[in-house]
């Protein structure tokens, strides 16, 4: 185990140093290419986003496309692992059928969407300066259904492990349908939450930390290495994303990270049962997407807004709460949820 832990630490340290050292020249290159953030004129519902534009006008032209640097670092780490395997320094590369195929498939299959979305964001001149919501929804549905059906048809996962409150609940053909809905709902909830500098990524690091503990405890060391590389690449990113942000990630990359997290949750739930603790851990995201649904319902039924602007963190911003204060309070709430979820996980291991 000490050898495995050493390998994980070395890979993650190499990824962090590589990311951190490349950021300044990469940001300079993005500025040279004028690859900057454009503030949207319309919401995803095609309504005018005047309040959002007012609150975030100062962030216009901040460099985006962080994900391409992340992609480069991950490719380099995989290549290094292949070389080390050929030289017999490690037993397996990071590209392994039993542990990382699904995770890396999620990573690289999303590359087409990232490329198109990033280019459209920079070069598009219409009202919506990125891929339309319909295009992203189609891609999201297809990918989410593929992952859900793959777990059901190839890995024979037709049950939910509801520990610590219950044991396995067999759902048969309903399992891929439920996991599909859960994945789409979660990915959209997190994407909606990503609206303030460093807001979603600090909460993401906490969730990835719990996943890292669960993966390592389940002896899935290669999956643990992938998660740890992601954590340290995100840590390097956050150094430059803290308010005022010097670089943004952009939507498509955010969507990929949460597809990967959903995939990892399903994978770990086979043996350890982490669905219930993680539903609790995602509580902030349920709040955010719930506020959007309520806003749409209020407009449809009562012909007026319930919040000044949705999601909820923008409503708080509009009522004159500072951006840094909102982010810190969300981090505090996420830390409390992390402690409760972790206690639930440790409790069920003793059952």
Domain boundaries, the chain: 2-349
CB 341 within 8 A of CB 272: no
Distance separating alpha carbons of residues 221 and 241, to the nearest angstrom: 29
What token pair was written down for 109? 């299959």
Q: What is the pLDDT of residue 137?
A: 74
Q: What is the pLDDT of residue 36?
A: 56
What token pair was written down for 136? 């992203």
Decide if pLDDT at 39 tops 80. Answer: no
Q: Tell me: cis bond preceding 97? Omega within 30 of 0 counts.
A: no
**Residues making up the chain, counted from first to last:** 351
pLDDT in tens, 83-134: 999 888 888 888 887 778 777 877 777 666 666 666 666 655 444 455 666 7
Other Cβ atoms less than 10 A from the Cβ of 101: the count is 12
Task: Please provide the DSSP assignment of 309-349 as one string.
Answer: SSSHHHHHHHTT--HHHHHHHHHHHHHHHHHHHHHHHHHHH
pLDDT in tens, 234-253: 888 878 777 666 776 655 56
CB 277 within 8 A of CB 271: no
């Amino acid at each position: 185990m000490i050898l495995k832990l050493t390998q994980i630490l070395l890979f993650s340290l190499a990824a962090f140093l590589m990311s951190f050292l490349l950021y300044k020249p990469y940001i300079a290159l993005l500025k040279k290419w004028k690859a900057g953030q454009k503030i949207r004129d319309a919401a995803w519902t095609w309504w005018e986003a005047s309040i959002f534009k007012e609150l975030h006008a100062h962030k216009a032209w901040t460099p985006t496309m962080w994900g391409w640097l992340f992609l480069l670092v991950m490719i380099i780490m995989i290549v290094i692992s292949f070389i080390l395997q050929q030289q017999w320094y490690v037993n397996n590369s990071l590209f392994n059928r039993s542990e990382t195929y699904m995770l890396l498939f999620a990573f690289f299959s999303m590359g087409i969407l990232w490329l198109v979305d990033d280019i459209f964001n920079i070069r598009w001149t219409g009202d919506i300066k990125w891929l339309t919501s319909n295009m992203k929804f189609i891609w999201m549905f297809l990918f989410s259904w593929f992952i859900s059906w793959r777990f059901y048809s190839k890995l024979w996962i037709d049950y939910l492990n509801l520990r610590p409150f219950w044991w396995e609940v067999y759902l048969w053909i309903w399992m891929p349908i439920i996991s599909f809905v859960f994945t789409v709902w979660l990915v959209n909830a997190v994407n909606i939450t990503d609206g303030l500098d460093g807001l979603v990524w600090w909460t993401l690091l906490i969730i990835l930390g719990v996943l890292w503990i669960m993966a390592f405890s389940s002896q899935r060391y290669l999956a643990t290495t992938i998660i740890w590389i992601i954590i340290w690449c995100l840590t390097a990113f956050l150094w430059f994303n803290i308010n005022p942000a010097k670089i943004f990630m952009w939507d498509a990359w955010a969507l990929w990270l949460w597809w990967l997290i959903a995939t990892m949750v399903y994978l770990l739930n086979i043996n350890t049962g982490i669905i219930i603790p993680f539903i609790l851990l995602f509580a902030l995201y349920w709040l955010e997407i719930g506020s959007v649904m309520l806003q749409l319902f209020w407009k449809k039924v009562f012909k007026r807004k319930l919040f000044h602007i949705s999601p909820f963190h923008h409503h708080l911003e509009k009522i004159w709460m500072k951006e840094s204060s909102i982010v810190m309070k969300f981090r505090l709430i996420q830390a409390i949820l992390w402690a409760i979820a972790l206690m639930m996980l440790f409790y069920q291991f003793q059952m």
